[in-house]
Structure 1
Amino acid sequence: MSTIPLDYETLRLIWWLLLGVLLIGFAIMGGRDLGVGALLPFVARTDEERRVLLNLIGPTWEGNQVWLVLGGGAIFAAFPPLYAVSFSGFYLAMIVILLALILRPVGFKFRGKVSDPRWRTTWDWALFVGGFVPSLIMGVAVGNVLLGAPFHFDDSLRVFYTGNFVQLLMPFALLAGLVSLAMIVTHGATLITGRTTGLIAERARQLGILSGIATIALFAIGGIWVALMNGYVVTSTIDPNSPINPLGKTVELVQGGWLRNYGLYPWMLAAPVLGFAGMALATLGLMGRYRWLAYLGSSAGIFGIVATAGVSIFPFFLPSSTMPNAGLTLWDASSSHLTLFIMLLATVVFLPLIVLYTAWVFRVMRGTVTTESLSKNPNAY
């Protein structure tokens, strides 16, 4: 391993940051599509109006899903213990998300096959479910991470998950789900306001203002709740270059423990500040009809809110509520030194290509979507 130019600790930190980038990338890029889907039945009242929204996100939503695929792949390859515990323990919740996401491509393709209004309305509501359910449940999942998941290891490091789907629906987790839903809806509303006209844009603007205010209020309530709840703190000495061993540490529950990092690393306060400031900017931008200022504000707000969860629980990925010392951290849930380095080399090559391709696609697909533009496009949904 001496031939690897980066030490193990540095590579682990780099992959922690990269995973955060991928998840935030999906929250912003995929979140705009989920938000439009969640707003579809309420912003668009007629078939033509709903076609406008379908064609607003239809050309790009599949590419935006790449961020989710990359995030899942990064967890699988860079943090296999985390993949094993989370993807098996939260299996039912992930199946619900997957089924909801599957409704989107089916809805896009099938909706226009039959001109019957009832047929199209059915698929419109299916697209709503495809936006609403993932936005809510992904936030619930983050809430459960802060609460801790009911899993433990035996002496041979076999994992045992003792929870169920209903136990995921704790009050704090539901609050986190509402924060996620509200911020995604706000983001979708800023996109609709920025790239459509007339009644569609106005309805989205009004709903976006309400959801933006709700996001700020719910995020603040969540912060107060986190300050009063117990957080997990590693109390033993950590060797950042040690081999993985989830049971090689001691962990205690401390009231307000999730706020400890902000005292140790004051720069982390930038995350919640950006969350509040971004959503405030998005709301004010919608109020003042500054369309793209609102969109940039909601993007920054999502960045800050998601980053707040990440820096608050650092170095944890997934704490254990039933066996605290089994909680997975950055230092005991990563792949080998060599694996992380090889993955980093591949990422340095391919991630910029993905970013450049995404930028090119959005440049080609830029512009306002209207009913008139749809009539000129024979390939429109």
Structure 2
Amino acid sequence: MYLCGCKFMHYKIKDNQVEFVFPIKRESLYLKGTFTNWQVDEAFRFENRKNGCRLIKNLDEVNKIGNSGFIEYVIWDDEIQSPIEIAPLQAGHYFNNQCNGGVNQLLFLDTPSQRQLQEISEASEQSFLIKNQIEHFTSISQLANFRAVTGGQLKPGWLYRSYHPVMPSRSNHTELKVIEPLRQAAAMSLIEERRIESVVNLSDSEQALAHFMPSARDSYYKRCWLQGHVHSVPVAYETVYFMSDRNEALNDDELGFEDGIRCLIETLARSQGPYLIHCRLGSDRTGVMCAFLQLMAGASKKEIADNYLMTNQLGIGEYRSFRLLERALTAALGEACFFDGGGVTTMYMKRLKISDRCIEQARANLLC
């Protein structure tokens, strides 16, 4: 049994259940977290007891990690539309709430080590970092979240990833809206400098691009789109991280994970490099798809982690744990993917009925 206690609340895990206890009686209290997609869910309403209220859930009902790499939650008072503050905060037991500047509590299924708690505490501090001036960045590549995807047999300087160069992502963010156009301009400049030939867009459907791009100002990216070199492979954040074990689309205008991989490989097989893969931030959907290609190329787990974690230098008040990426890949491919990436991804692509010819052409286009 693992027990987490503090002045106002605690949870305890026993067998396959977790029990939350709160020393206040109130009809409007809910457990809200990564497992409810941060929505109020009647199935997670606390019930009043003699000395307060409690909620008991099966572990499989709450076992969904957040950007911290752990299960995140708040106690939500729906009457005042605000989370209940839990104090005192225990280092390593909370993480930056990336929406409101507050904190989320962490739920551990296993007792964390002191080293693990220290790493979580440091990551949480890093996640609050906002970089909104050019001098905060070591290069325009860091500003644009632009970098080469490397590892294994990938051709050097041939596959890149970046922030979205056209559609803004943080234009309404109080602290980031000033630097947003500079970030996009940096991405655009680097795309042209690397003479990107083919773009895989993971965030926008063909219909969305057809609506937006004609009125977009002239740019290297727009010219690529006009030439048919911007390829839409729309998948959701939720899909790549938490639905990678199946082929289910989150939204009607998107692809399921398996269809996304199939479309990615077929696109790379029929197009010419150098290649760019991007979504909005160039972090999550881009991170998972690039990691799949790294595995296909035989990259090591360290090479994949190093490339993925560079996103945390973006300075947008967010953080990504490698545990997120690890979960997505192993759910789709199994634990062996980090030991035999080339073999495992080949078997996976064949299971998706991607032709041998297509697989070999994609490999020829990407690998040395």
TM-score norm. by structure 2 comes to 0.28
Instruction: Select the structure that is richer in strand.
Output: 2
Instruction: Select the structure that is richer in helix.
Output: 1
TM-score norm. by structure 1 comes to 0.28
User: Greater relative contact order (Cα 8 A, min sep 6): structure 1 or 2?
Assistant: 1
